[in-house]
């Protein structure tokens, strides 16, 4: 299905005096996606963001919002549009003299005529969502840097915007806190579904939460596309932006941690004897993942794991749990499910893989990573241990799907 552009830049030009910052920029941002803009310092990344929020107007060219040119909108329409856009500033921009509650409430108080009671309800809902209830009455200087980032994101979301602009959200953070902030943005974007436009220097980490990437260079955008398309590009300009492959925390796959899942399995095992209930464990293995990293790229390999994780989450709903068990393994628990039910689950999941973009041969225009996804099922009994379940699952591995570069994802009939 063809996606409709949410925001479009068409041949946009911006000058400050005699200095040209944007010289014919074309950019497409799709609804419900994370688009990341990368480029050298001073290349014009923040200038692009300021055009979207209306702080700057182009000297030439056109900016469209859902197909409507911004310049043709009336004052009332433009005012309504601005309410749909939110901004998360580089250094959080929290007011030191205001409590956490008042910082989050500020956009509602400034932009709406909402009654105080409704403002309190909306603010508290966001505060609880971001696990900030214990610091509601504290000032920014009294809370950690990570909490300050959560407050800034809660404030950006409190007006229920359609689009949020992130200007270097991880600047100045150490690697652990940087990954935590990126994970937070990815998690809440999946949960709420807002459109995100992010300016970032954190390459390649930020690619793992991005649906699309745009490079701004020499006053134009020479590349825009998916992270995998970026990594597979032969353009020397593109390649210089993706050197230095660093790993991003597993929470970006949307999966649980291994210790959490191991604890869940032990809990389920303890219930078998008491309640006569059963459950199944499924171990998924992505064959040749290391070879994919080497031949195709780190982003492509991570995307495959991420896609499988997201498919599992969507297919399991609230009934099951999955975790990254090793570099190329995902372990899934299916409560109240016997072997027959687990096989049915695998069959349905394999069919869904055929429609996933990551598992399409056309997603890889230069080097196609032909690979197999295998799964091993084991039904738990009262004598089972965590170790024995994993061992049996590994011994039961069978191919459930195979990406063929000439035909796409093929599902095993066995």
Residue 6 confidence (pLDDT): 92
Q: What is the mean pLDDT of residues 72-87?
A: 86
The percent of residues above 70 in pLDDT, for the chain, comes to 91
Q: How, if at all, do strands 321-326 and 34-38 pair?
A: unpaired
Instruction: Give the torsion through C-alpha atoms of 360, 366, 372, 375, to 10 deg.
Output: -60
CA 213, chain centre distance (Å): 13
pLDDT higher than 70, residue 396: yes
Sheet of 220-225: strands edge to edge? Answer: 85-88, 163-167, 195-199, 34-38, 212-217, 220-225
How far is the C-alpha of 309 from the C-alpha of 373, rounded, in Å? Answer: 13
Provide the 10 A C-beta neighbour count for residue 351.
Answer: 12
- Calculate what percentage of the chain has a pLDDT beyond 90: 34
251-411: CATH topology is Alpha-Beta Plaits (3.30.70)
Chain centroid to CA 13: 30
In this predicted model, what pLDDT tens digit does every residue of 100-155 receive, in sequence order? 999 999 999 988 889 999 999 999 998 988 888 999 999 999 998 778 888 888 89
Structure token pair of residue 183: 């994970």
pLDDT at 244: 39
Residues of the chain with CATH 3.30.70.270: 251-411
Select from 248, 385, 261, 387 the least CA-distant residue to 312: 261
Q: What is residue 413's predicted lDDT score, i.e. its pLDDT?
A: 66
Helix segments in 246-403, DSSP class H:
258-275, 289-295, 298-316, 339-353, 386-395
Give the residue range(s) of CATH 3.40.50.300 domains in the chain.
Answer: 5-244
Give the Cα separation of 153 and 315 in Å (integer): 29
Mean pLDDT across the chain: 85
Residues 46, 65: Cα–Cα separation, whole Å: 18
The gap from C-alpha 148 to its chain's centroid, in whole angstroms, comes to 21
- State pTM to two decimals: 0.67
Q: In this predicted structure, what is the pLDDT of residue 377?
A: 96
**Whole-number Cα distances in Å, 410 to 214, 293, 372, 398, 399:** 32, 22, 9, 14, 10
Residue 314 has a pLDDT of: 82
Which helix H or strand E contains 162, and what residues bound it?
Answer: none
Q: Which CATH superfamily is domain 5-244 in?
A: P-loop containing nucleotide triphosphate hydrolases (3.40.50.300)
């Amino acid at each position: 299905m063809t996606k409709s552009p949410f925001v479009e830049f068409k041949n946009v030009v911006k000058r400050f005096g005699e200095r040209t910052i944007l010289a014919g920029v074309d950019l497409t941002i799709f609804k419900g996606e994370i688009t990341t803009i990368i480029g050298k310092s001073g290349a014009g990344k923040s200038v692009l963001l300021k055009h979207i929020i209306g702080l700057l107007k182009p000297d030439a060219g056109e900016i469209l919002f859902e197909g409507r040119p911004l310049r043709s909108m009336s004052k009332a329409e433009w005012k309504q549009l601005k309410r749909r856009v939110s901004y998360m500033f580089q250094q959080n921009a929290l007011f030191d003299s205001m409590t956490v509650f008042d910082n989050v409430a500020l956009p509602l108080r400034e932009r709406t005529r909402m009654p105080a009671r409704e403002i309190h309800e909306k603010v508290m809902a966001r505060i609880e969502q971001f696990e900030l209830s214990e610091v509601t009455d504290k000032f920014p200087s009294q809370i950690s840097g990570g909490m300050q980032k959560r407050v800034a994101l809660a404030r950006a979301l409190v007006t229920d915007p359609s689009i949020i602009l992130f200007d270097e959200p991880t600047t100045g953070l150490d690697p652990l806190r940087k990954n935590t902030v990126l994970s937070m943005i990815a998690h809440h974007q999946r949960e709420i579904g807002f459109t995100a436009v992010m300016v970032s220097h954190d390459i390649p980490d930020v690619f793992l939460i991005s649906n699309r990437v745009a490079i701004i260079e020499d006053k134009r955008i020479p590349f825009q596309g998916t992270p995998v398309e970026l990594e597979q590009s032969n353009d020397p300009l593109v390649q210089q932006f993706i050197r230095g492959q660093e790993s991003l925390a597993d929470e970006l796959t949307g999966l649980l941690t291994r210790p959490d899942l191991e604890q869940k399995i032990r809990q389920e095992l303890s219930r078998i004897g008491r309640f006569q209930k059963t459950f199944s464990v499924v171990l998924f293995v992505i064959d040749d993942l290391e070879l994919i990293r080497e031949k195709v790229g780190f982003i492509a390999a991570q995307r495959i794991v991420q896609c499988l994780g997201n498919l599992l989450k969507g297919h399991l709903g609230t009934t099951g749990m999955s975790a990254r068990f090793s570099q190329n393994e995902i372990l899934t628990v299916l409560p109240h499910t016997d072997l027959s039910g687990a096989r049915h689950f695998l069959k349905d999941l394999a069919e869904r893989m055929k429609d996933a973009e990551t598992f399409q041969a056309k997603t890889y225009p230069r080097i196609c990573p032909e690979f197999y996804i295998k799964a091993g099922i084991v039904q738990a009994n009262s004598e089972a241990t965590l170790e024995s379940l994993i061992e049996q699952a590994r011994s039961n591995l069978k191919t459930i799907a195979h990406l063929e570069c000439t035909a796409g994802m093929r599902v095993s009939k066995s």
